[in-house]
Amino acid sequence: MTVLRRAAIVAVGSELLTPSKIDTNSLYITEQLNRLGVEVMVKLVVGDMREELTEAVRSLLARVDVLILSGGLGPTDDDVTREAVSAALGRPLAEDEAITTRLRERFKARGFAMPMPETNRRQAMVPAGAVVIENRNGSAPGLWIDHEGKVVLLLPGPPRELRPMLAELVDGPLRASALGEPLMRRVVRITGRIESDVDQLMQPIYREWAAASPPIAATILASPGAIELHVSTHAASQDVVDRALEDAVQRVVNTIGADVYSTDGRKLEQVVGDLLVAKSMRVAAAESCTGGLITSRLTDVPGSSRYVDQSVITYSNESKTELLGVPTELLQSHGAVSEPVGLAMAEGIRARARVDVGIGVTGIAGPTGGTAEKPVGTVVVAAVTANERRCRTFRFFGDRELVKFQASQAALDMMRRLLSS
Amino acid sequence: MTVLRRAAIVAVGSELLTPSKIDTNSLYITEQLNRLGVEVMVKLVVGDMREELTEAVRSLLARVDVLILSGGLGPTDDDVTREAVSAALGRPLAEDEAITTRLRERFKARGFAMPMPETNRRQAMVPAGAVVIENRNGSAPGLWIDHEGKVVLLLPGPPRELRPMLAELVDGPLRASALGEPLMRRVVRITGRIESDVDQLMQPIYREWAAASPPIAATILASPGAIELHVSTHAASQDVVDRALEDAVQRVVNTIGADVYSTDGRKLEQVVGDLLVAKSMRVAAAESCTGGLITSRLTDVPGSSRYVDQSVITYSNESKTELLGVPTELLQSHGAVSEPVGLAMAEGIRARARVDVGIGVTGIAGPTGGTAEKPVGTVVVAAVTANERRCRTFRFFGDRELVKFQASQAALDMMRRLLSS
């Protein structure tokens, strides 16, 4: 048999083609395959339609070494996986008497008075040459077919049946067939830059990485205010993989600089929290357009009560004056969305909460309230400590929730830089 | 052009083939296509690999009338959708100068000092014969290609860009081309019950619905604190569909009662906001364990400044006393997580913010801080008006973020019931 390197995953079931159900088995299957160094090339969802599925099995098998199908192994007419695989591989179905016997016993054991319906014998039909895999958590057995140097695996759809079955295969026959080079991944998180900018800086490095040994693959995931650079590689030795990835991550950090905020999976609020703990500092926020989102994110982190003790949400001008002592004159002369007001909010909350870091955020989240001079998306972020005042005006795009998120991201990032400097 | 009946959806992106990311765009796309009576036959996820994708486009297009691709339209080398579709259809790429101009303008408008990186011009490459679809929420335009009586549609991957673009197409050219029986769906949102309870009440109705004409299909989607019951049907006439769904929704409302908070797609924070506007009332929250999440959700709703003016986040005991006037004795005798303190917080913020409704929430989000008597997940929610005081102690399960979400849901729901009574 050839070594398994490339896999395809097929989820079978018409319910997975409706707007309310999604195939999640493939995430677990991917995780297990990656552990063996097998890469998933394609994922497919097909309805309970024999011809569609037959065609899909045929065309996918031409392109991968291992094909894993989940679902469609039940006893009803809707369950077409066995028939489709049989047709695609040209391996006729025959009843496996041992399975039928087990099905009858299982049926009896569950206390049904009537005999097993004959339709259930469909579950005992097996393509020629298939190895039956016992299902300890349900009625449909799995099937393993070695076919022209490739592996086709039929697994039941319910996760509680599929997972233990696959886990056993991964520890046994699949591991034996796979290359056994673990595929590992690290994530570098970046903020304060746009995707194409990161990409341009990284281009020459991508080219080097593609030619390196082991080769490093990189993917960018970007959403407003948050960029993730995923680097991955595989090699025979775990040590080689770990070292290659650590080098790759360092390379990104050296290239992108201080805009990298995490290389170990931590979220921005966690990074900020760790900095606050390390410096024994506490923070309080005066939030206008973010409406509490900054403090909510800060307090998503377990243990955040060590550094968060209070914050205020001041939506109206009056509340800015009343709760934060922002002078009415300042609001009138500069407007609520202005750097003097943002700084006054940060100073106000810092003094009133008697903390080390004060954050002030004021802006126009939209969809209304924008002007030519200060359009929707204009947000002022300020951060102050005993010795330093930082303030910046941003212009974010997107809808209300997106502006709020980007503003919270900018405020957390301003804190991070302030605390790192 | 042929009538569109059968569709395939392709999500492009190597990150969607890792164990941690899943394609969810296809759910929205399916919903929109179903509205037009177009059925989804197959869904596919392919990595950022030109040849794989070219092959997939070719083979799928042989089997469906409309092919929708999402993702892979960014400016980087990883973004291969344009090239793959061009190759599969034999339609060479050429730069669309109008797109390049718009890209440059967009880049400038966002206030970057440097000129647009030249790599971004990749986004202006268009297969011969494609119609460009403007993207109001991002840089990558969509593309519509009529090809041998079929439709190939390239949409950007980010949901906030894809959704409005597809919605416009569904109301326009796609509707004109499709001709099936509309499959429509309504969503009933429920809170304050568990899934199995809703399911048990609905079982006899499901059976009636299955036999009805037109038959009504129902699916429950449940997550902690939020249950959605989706009902759907299709028929030749839009009137018949609308009436059948309205009857079904009323049936659910009559069965589940006041735990139904929305039958028209509105989120809970929106329902609460509409009630506040209708009654010309304003709200302020005193949030402890929710850390600002309640106010952040309230202010996710456009126009919420009409009823939100301020809130406070009081994590520590001292801040509860200082900002809300919660008596120290109360905190000492009952503990911070207690109904007397929750009510005092609600009363305190109501008085200090001079609003109609005061909300107080205090609890143990975890993972630490629980005791035998008050385990992690214990949350007190209080809501007070001039004439009414409501308070309840909940015991939520799950991790910190899940407890926070359930607590915010309970607080918003308490407001809803208070304002509806």
Each residue of B177-226: pLDDT tens digit?
A: 776 667 788 999 999 888 778 888 998 999 999 899 899 988 777 777 88
CATH, domain range B268-420: 3.90.950.20
Please give the C-alpha separations between residue A109 and each of A69, A115, A125, A136, B246, in angstroms, as whole numbers: 29, 11, 22, 14, 45
Chain A interface, mutation test: which of B227, B293, B299, most A Cβ atoms within 10 Å?
Answer: B299
Q: CB burial class (10 A; 0-12, 13-18, 19+) of residue B28?
A: middle
User: Is residue B237 a contact partner of residue B230, using CB atoms and an 8 Å limit?
Assistant: no
With an 8 Å Cβ cutoff, are A310 and B314 in contact?
yes
In angstroms, what separates the C-alpha of B323 from chain A's closest C-alpha? 9
| Beta pairing partners, B139 | none
User: Hey, what's the torsion of the CAs at B112, B114, B117, B118, to 10 degrees?
Assistant: 130
CATH 3.30.70.2860 correct for A183-262: yes
Q: List pLDDT tens digits, range A149-203.
A: 899 999 999 888 999 999 999 888 888 777 666 778 899 999 988 888 898 999 9
Q: In what order do the strands lie in the sheet with A39-46?
A: A131-133, A142-147, A150-155, A66-70, A6-12, A39-46, B39-46, B6-12, B66-70, B150-155, B142-147, B131-133
With an 8 Å Cβ cutoff, are B219 and A398 in contact?
no
In angstroms, what separates the C-alpha of A97 from chain B's closest C-alpha? 34
For B304, nearest residue in chain A (alpha carbons): A315
Compute the distance between CA of residue B408 and CA of residue B294 in angstroms, rounded to an integer.
5
Q: CB burial class (10 A; 0-12, 13-18, 19+) of residue A219?
A: buried
Name which of B28, B161, B24, B352 is nearest A402 in CA terms: B161
With an 8 Å Cβ cutoff, are A63 and B78 in contact?
no
With an 8 Å Cβ cutoff, are A42 and B56 in contact?
yes
With an 8 Å Cβ cutoff, are B316 and A309 in contact?
yes
Other Cβ atoms closer than 10 A to A405:
19
With an 8 Å Cβ cutoff, are B295 and A309 in contact?
no
Q: List pLDDT tens digits, range A278-325.
A: 999 999 999 999 999 999 999 999 999 999 999 999 999 999 999 999
What HEC string does chain B produce? Answer: CCCECEEEEEEECHHHHCCCCCCCHHHHHHHHHHHCCCEEEEEEEECCCHHHHHHHHHHHHCCCCEEEEECCCCCCCCCCHHHHHHHHHCCCEEECHHHHHHHHHHHHHCCCCCCCCHHHHHHHEEECCCEEECCCCCCCCEEEEEECCEEEEEECCCHHHHHHHHHHHHHCHHHHHECCCCEEEEEEEECCCCHHHHHHHHHHHHHHHHHCCCCCEEEEEEECCEEEEEEEEECCCHHHHHHHHHHHHHHHHHHHHHHEEECCCCCHHHHHHHHHHHCCCCEEEEECCCCCHHHHHHCCCCCHHHCECEEEEECCHHHHHHHHCCCHHHHHHHCCCCHHHHHHHHHHHHHHHCCCEEEEEEECCCCCCCCCCCCCCEEEEEEECCCCEEEEEEECCCCHHHHHHHHHHHHHHHHHHHHHC
Lowest mean pLDDT among A331-340, A365-374, B377-386: A365-374
pLDDT above 80 (res A128): yes
Residue A230 DSSP symbol: E
Q: CB burial class (10 A; 0-12, 13-18, 19+) of residue A73?
A: buried
Other Cβ atoms closer than 10 A to A277:
14
Q: Start-end ranges of CATH 3.30.70.2860 in chain A?
A: 183-262
Q: What is the pLDDT of residue A328?
A: 96
User: Hey, what's the torsion of the CAs at A49, A51, A56, A59, to 10 degrees?
Assistant: 180
Residue predicted with more confidence, A224 or A361: A361
pLDDT above 50 (res B94): yes
Q: Which CATH architecture has domain A6-177?
A: 3-Layer(aba) Sandwich (3.40)
| Beta pairing partners, A360 | A286, A382
With an 8 Å Cβ cutoff, are A18 and B219 in contact?
yes
The pLDDT confidence band at residue B113, using thresholds 50, 70 and 90, is low
With an 8 Å Cβ cutoff, are B292 and A313 in contact?
yes
pLDDT above 70 (res A2): no
Residues 6+ apart with CB under 8 A from B102: B141
For B305, nearest residue in chain A (alpha carbons): A315
Compute chain B's Rg from CA coordinates: 26
With an 8 Å Cβ cutoff, are B75 and A34 in contact?
no
Alpha helix stretches (DSSP H) within A155-267: 159-171, 173-177, 195-211, 238-256
Contacts of residue B70 in chain A, CB cutoff 8 Å?
Answer: none
The pLDDT confidence band at residue A1, using thresholds 50, 70 and 90, is very low
Compute the distance between CA of residue A40 and CA of residue A66 in angstroms, rounded to an integer.
9
Contacts of residue A222 in chain B, CB cutoff 8 Å?
Answer: 74
Percent above pLDDT 90 for chain A: 70
For B7, nearest residue in chain A (alpha carbons): A17
User: Is residue A375 a contact partner of residue A417, using CB atoms and an 8 Å limit?
Assistant: no
With an 8 Å Cβ cutoff, are B316 and A303 in contact?
no
- Where do we find the tokens 């009133």? A352
What's chain B's average pLDDT?
92
Residues 6+ apart with CB under 8 A from A148: none
Compute the distance between CA of residue B48 and CA of residue A210 in angstroms, rounded to an integer.
15
With an 8 Å Cβ cutoff, are B312 and A316 in contact?
no
With an 8 Å Cβ cutoff, are B303 and A56 in contact?
no
Task: Find out whether the peptide bond into A302 is cis, omega within 30 degrees of 0.
Answer: no
- What does the buried/exposed string (b/e) look like for B93-122 if buried means 16 or more CB atoms within 10 Å of the residue's CB? beebeebbebbeeebeeeeeeeebbebbbb
Provide the phi-psi class of B31: left if phi over 0, else alpha when psi is between -120 and 50, else beta: alpha
Amino acid sitting at position B417: R
Contacts of residue A206 in chain B, CB cutoff 8 Å?
Answer: 77
pLDDT above 90 (res A122): no
Say which of A34, A295, A365 has its CB closest to residue B292: A295
Compute chain A's Rg from CA coordinates: 29
With an 8 Å Cβ cutoff, are A19 and B312 in contact?
no
Other Cβ atoms closer than 10 A to A131:
12
Compute the distance between CA of residue B138 and CA of residue A224 in angstroms, rounded to an integer.
10
Compute the distance between CA of residue A324 and CA of residue A334 in angstroms, rounded to an integer.
17
Contacts of residue B160 in chain A, CB cutoff 8 Å?
Answer: 398-399, 402
Other Cβ atoms closer than 10 A to A148:
9
pLDDT above 60 (res B108): yes
In angstroms, what separates the C-alpha of B208 from chain A's closest C-alpha? 20
User: Is residue B75 a contact partner of residue B84, using CB atoms and an 8 Å limit?
Assistant: no
With an 8 Å Cβ cutoff, are A319 and B353 in contact?
yes
Contacts of residue B112 in chain A, CB cutoff 8 Å?
Answer: 194
Contacts of residue A34 in chain B, CB cutoff 8 Å?
Answer: 18-19
Contacts of residue B41 in chain A, CB cutoff 8 Å?
Answer: 17, 46-47, 49, 52
What is residue A398's three-state secondary structure? coil
Q: What is the pLDDT of residue B170?
A: 87
Q: List pLDDT tens digits, range B271-307.
A: 999 999 999 999 999 999 999 999 999 999 999 999 9
The pLDDT confidence band at residue A29, using thresholds 50, 70 and 90, is very high
Compute the distance between CA of residue B97 and CA of residue A329 in angstroms, rounded to an integer.
50
Other Cβ atoms closer than 10 A to B250:
12
Q: What is the pLDDT of residue B1?
A: 45
Q: Start-end ranges of CATH 3.90.950.20 in chain B?
A: 268-420
Say which of B45, B59, B304 has its CB closest to residue A43: B45
What is residue A58's three-state secondary structure? helix
Chain A interface, mutation test: which of B17, B31, B104, B120, most A Cβ atoms within 10 Å?
Answer: B17
Chain B interface, mutation test: which of A6, A17, A197, A290, most B Cβ atoms within 10 Å?
Answer: A17
Q: List pLDDT tens digits, range A66-121.
A: 999 999 998 877 789 999 999 999 999 999 999 999 888 877 776 666 778 777 88
In angstroms, what separates the C-alpha of B300 from chain A's closest C-alpha? 6
Say which of A20, A368, A395 has its CB closest to residue B111: A395
Name which of B3, B16, B115, B137 is nearest B65 in CA terms: B3
Q: How many CB pairs under 8 A join A and B?
A: 235
The two structure tokens encoding residue B389: 């005081």
Average pLDDT over residues B311-333: 96
For A291, nearest residue in chain B (alpha carbons): B296
Other Cβ atoms closer than 10 A to A239:
9
Compute the distance between CA of residue A63 and CA of residue A41 in angstroms, rounded to an integer.
9
Say which of B34, B137, B315 has its CB closest to residue A309: B315
Compute the distance between CA of residue A55 and CA of residue A87 in angstroms, rounded to an integer.
9
With an 8 Å Cβ cutoff, are B366 and A302 in contact?
yes
Contacts of residue B367 in chain A, CB cutoff 8 Å?
Answer: 302
Is the pTM of the predicted complex or chain greater than 0.90?
no
Contacts of residue A304 in chain B, CB cutoff 8 Å?
Answer: 291
Average pLDDT over residues A51-59: 93
pLDDT above 80 (res B15): yes
Contacts of residue A219 in chain B, CB cutoff 8 Å?
Answer: 13-15, 48, 78
What is residue A148's three-state secondary structure? coil
For B11, nearest residue in chain A (alpha carbons): A43
For A321, nearest residue in chain B (alpha carbons): B310
Q: List pLDDT tens digits, range B36-78.
A: 888 899 999 999 999 999 999 999 999 999 999 999 998 888 8
Compute the distance between CA of residue A45 and CA of residue B313 in angstroms, rounded to an integer.
46
Average pLDDT over residues B331-340: 97
Q: CB burial class (10 A; 0-12, 13-18, 19+) of residue A387?
A: exposed
The two structure tokens encoding residue B111: 């206030």
> For the complex shown, is ipTM > 0.90?
no
Contacts of residue B120 in chain A, CB cutoff 8 Å?
Answer: 196
Q: What is the pLDDT of residue A179?
A: 61
Q: What is the pLDDT of residue A110?
A: 66
Q: Start-end ranges of CATH 3.40.980.10 in chain A?
A: 6-177
Q: What is the pLDDT of residue B5?
A: 84
| Beta pairing partners, A276 | none
